[in-house]
Amino acid sequence: MKNYTRFSQVQNDLKSGNITCTEIVAYYLKQIEANKHLNAFINVYADEAAQLAKHVDEKIANNTAGKLAGLVIGVKDAICQKGKGIQASSKMLEGYISPFTATALQRLLDEDAIVIGNLSCDEFAMGSTNEFSTYGPVLNAADNTKVPGGSSGGSAVAVQAGLCHASLGSDTGGSVRQPAAFTGTYGFKPSYGRISRYGLIAYASSFDQIGTFTNSVEDASLLFEVMGGIDSMDATTSSKPMPVLSNLEYGKKATIGICKDVMEHEALSPEVKKAAEAFIERLRNDGHTIEEFSFSLLDQMVPTYYVITTAEASSNLARYDGVRYGYRAEKPENLEDLYKTSRSEGFGTEVKRRIMLGTFVLSSGYYDAYFTRAQKVRRLITDQTNDLFKQFDFIVSPTTPTVAFDIGREKTDPTEAYLADLFTVQANLAGIPGISIPFANSSNNLPIGMQVMAAKYNEAELLSFASTLLAVEA
pLDDT along the chain (474 residues), means of 10: 93 96 98 98 98 98 97 98 98 96 98 98 96 97 97 98 98 98 98 98 98 97 97 97 86 96 95 96 96 96 96 96 90 94 96 96 94 98 98 98 89 69 96 97 96 98 92 44
- Which is catalytic among the residues 90, 133, 151, 436? 151
Q: Is the preceding peptide bond at 16 cis, omega within 30 degrees of 0?
A: no
Q: What's residue 249's pLDDT? A: 85
**Interaxial angle between packed helices 217-227 and 7-16, expressed in degrees from 0 to 180 and rounded to the nearest 10:** 80
Q: What's residue 1's pLDDT? A: 87
Q: What is the dihedral of CA 118, 430, 303, 311, to 10 degrees?
A: -60
Residue 135 burial (CB count, 10 A) = 17
Question: Residue 449: what are its φ and ψ, rounded to 5°?
Answer: -110, 150
Question: Residue 329: what are its φ and ψ, rounded to 5°?
Answer: -65, 145
- What is the rounded CA–CA span in Å between residue 111 and residue 210? 18
Choose which CATH entry (3.90.1300.10, 1.10.569.10, 3.40.190.10, 3.40.50.150) describes domain 7-227.
3.90.1300.10
Stretch (H or E) spanning 463 = helix 459-473
- What's the gap between Cα 167 and its chain centre? 9
Q: How far is CA 65 from CA 15, 16, 49, 116, in A?
A: 11, 15, 16, 18
- Which is catalytic among the residues 152, 175, 191, 467? 175
Q: What's residue 415's pLDDT? A: 67
- 342 is known as an active-site residue: no
CB 315 within 8 A of CB 353: no
Residue 7 burial (CB count, 10 A) = 23
Question: Residue 188: what are its φ and ψ, rounded to 5°?
Answer: -120, 125
- What is the rounded CA–CA span in Å between residue 306 and residue 173? 9
- 151 is known as an active-site residue: yes
- What is the rounded CA–CA span in Å between residue 327 and residue 343? 8
Count of H-run helices and E-run strands, the chain: 17, 11
Q: What is the DSSP code (8-state) at residue 412?
A: H
Q: What residues does each domain of the chain span?
A: 7-227
CB 431 within 8 A of CB 192: yes
Stretch (H or E) spanning 89 = none
